[in-house]
Amino acid sequence: MASVLYEILATLFPPQCAVCNAVGSGLCDRCAPGSAARVTVRLRTLRLAALGRYEASLRQAVLALKAGRRDVAAELGRRLAACIEPASALVPVPTTRARRLQRGFDGAVLLAQIAADRANACVLPSLEQIAGDAQRGRDRSARLAACGRFAWRAESSLSGRRVVLLDDVATTGATLEDCAATIRAAGGIVDEAVVVAWA
């Protein structure tokens, strides 16, 4: 329903570049980061690939995504697909419930879905962000799969499965490492992460 509404709105109000306002897409080719802007970073246990640094036009695009611009998500997700091996399983880093309600969608989940469509990959949206209190009342297996601020929903098995983490921005990589630890605790294999921007 939401996507039908979005299609109608997109027809009535064609997307405009979040940076230069050119009509046609949420982020025009001129303002989007080229392949030369790509950054790779070695985190503690992960290899991180970013479309570019969190500055100038890419920063503006990320802020527009965070403000709820789906047309910008479409363009960034499309470009992230180029950093993803076909047939990968993508695990988006979940945002908090409050932020999801505020934006109307989870930015990383939407990016992952768009990138997965393009790269013939799949999305496993099974990480959840947990507050200390939310741990209470969880069943034992869910508690065992919890690690730091994240938990892996026990109903989707990960044993031996290789996944790629995906997020909008990475600053220190600590959140990605937190997610990676949770995935490993749930039996998955992860050594790569892709993000839009490295701050």
Q: Please identify, using beta-carbon distances, which residue of 30 and 47 lies nearer to Zn ion.
A: 30
Q: Please identify, using beta-carbon distances, which residue of 72 and 146 lies nearer to Zn ion.
A: 72
Q: Is 58 in the site for Zn ion (CB under 5 A)?
A: no
DSSP state of 42: E
Q: Is 169 helix (H, G, I), strand (E, B) or coil?
A: strand
Q: Please identify, using beta-carbon distances, which residue of 19 and 111 lies nearer to Zn ion.
A: 19
Task: Characterize 92-109 residue by residue with b for buried, 16 or more Cβ atoms within 10 angstroms of its Cβ, and e for exposed.
Answer: bbbbeeeeeeebebbbbb
The token pair that represents 7 in the structure block: 């299609």
Q: Closest separation between CB of residue 28 and Zn ion, Å?
A: 3
Binding string, residues 20-39; x marks residues near Zn ion by CB under 5 A: x-x-----x--x--------
What are the CA-CA distances from residue 43 to residues 59, 95, 185 (Å)?
A: 21, 21, 19
Q: Please identify, using beta-carbon distances, which residue of 31 and 130 lies nearer to Zn ion.
A: 31
Q: Closest separation between CB of residue 194 and Zn ion, Å?
A: 23
What are the CA-CA distances from residue 180 to residues 57, 88, 170, 176, 186 (Å)?
A: 29, 16, 14, 6, 10
Q: Which of 17, 112, 145, 165 binds Zn ion (CB under 5 A)?
A: 17
Q: Is 72 in the site for Zn ion (CB under 5 A)?
A: no
d(CA 180, CA 175): 9
Q: Closest separation between CB of residue 57 and Zn ion, Å?
A: 7
Q: Which of 19, 74, 130, 151 binds Zn ion (CB under 5 A)?
A: 19
Query: How many residues touch Zn ion (CB under 5 A)?
Result: 6
Tally the C-alpha atoms within 13 A of residue 195's C-alpha that lie toward its C-beta: 27
By the criterion CB under 5 A, which residues form the site for Zn ion?
17, 19-20, 22, 28, 31
